[in-house]
Amino acid sequence: MSRAALLVLADGRFPAGGHAHSGGAEAAVRAGRITGVADLADFCRGRLHTAGLVAAALAGAAALGRDPVELDAAADARTPSPALRLAARKLGRQLMRAARATWPVPELDALAREFPKGAHQPVVLGLTARAAGLGPEEAAYCAAYESVSGPATATVRLLSLDPFDATAVLARLAPELDQVVERAVAAARRVAAEGVDALPACSAPLLEIAAEAHAAWPVRLFAS
């Protein structure tokens, strides 16, 4: 295992398309649910323990070599919003392009053929981590961190928030991120014996509802 590969995969400059998505922050800002640092912290905490936990578990299971087609179906079942499913697949397709160029392996090629329009991003992320020689913990950390770093970065642009303050929000969430990853990896390891029903299915209804409204906006800064 190369920990340097983790740095490459988790780097915000890795060309996986995440910069174009706000993780629901744009809709939350428009609705007045994020107006400053305290609101951003609450939003990120909620997202981490719901969508972040689910994504981390899916990524961990994919990194363990579980069937990515079954995991993709599990991701679909845990994403009620069509807009969020579409966003997840677009992100998965973009990540797949970067992953195949960076860590080319037959497993990535097979998944790309199975889902020409893109598999769910956490599934692709986990398989990419596996291709890079990383384990389920590293894959889960990438997914969990992305679930909060995206909204934090987007809010800097949306509210002209001080980037130091936004980064401090992420730093203060670190202990909770560790807890989420621990839960996610434990669930991912149970998939071999229990199937995908072992994966968490935490919901965030307001994120789902807001995503549908956001997708209908004629003008927006972020794709989701």
Q: Provide the CATH topology of domain 24-212.
A: Urease accessory protein UreF (1.10.4190)
**pLDDT tens for residues 139-195?**
999 999 999 999 999 999 999 999 999 999 999 999 999 999 999 999 999 999 999
Q: Both tokens of residue 55?
A: 């994504």
Between residues 223 and 56, the one the model is more confident about: 56
Q: How many CB atoms are closer than 10 A to CB 189?
A: 17
Helical ranges in 106-162 per DSSP H: 106-114, 121-131, 136-159
Measure the CA dihedral 85/71/133/110, to 10°: -80
Q: Both tokens of residue 156?
A: 């800097």
Q: Where are the domains of the chain?
A: 24-212
pTM: 0.95
For residue 153, the model assigns a pLDDT of: 95
Per-residue exposure over 204-213, b if at least 16 CB sit within 10 Å of its own CB, e if not: bebbbebbee
Per-residue exposure over 142-165, b if at least 16 CB sit within 10 Å of its own CB, e if not: bbbbbbbbbbbbbbbbbbebeeee
Q: How far is CA 166 from CA 19, 20, 42, 87, 140, in A?
A: 16, 18, 12, 24, 22
Between residues 165 and 13, the one the model is more confident about: 165
Whether 60 contacts 196, CB under 8 Å: no
CA 150/CA 157 separation, integer angstroms: 11
CA 203/CA 47 separation, integer angstroms: 9
**pLDDT tens for residues 27-64?**
999 999 999 999 999 999 999 999 999 999 999 999 99
For residue 3, the model assigns a pLDDT of: 77
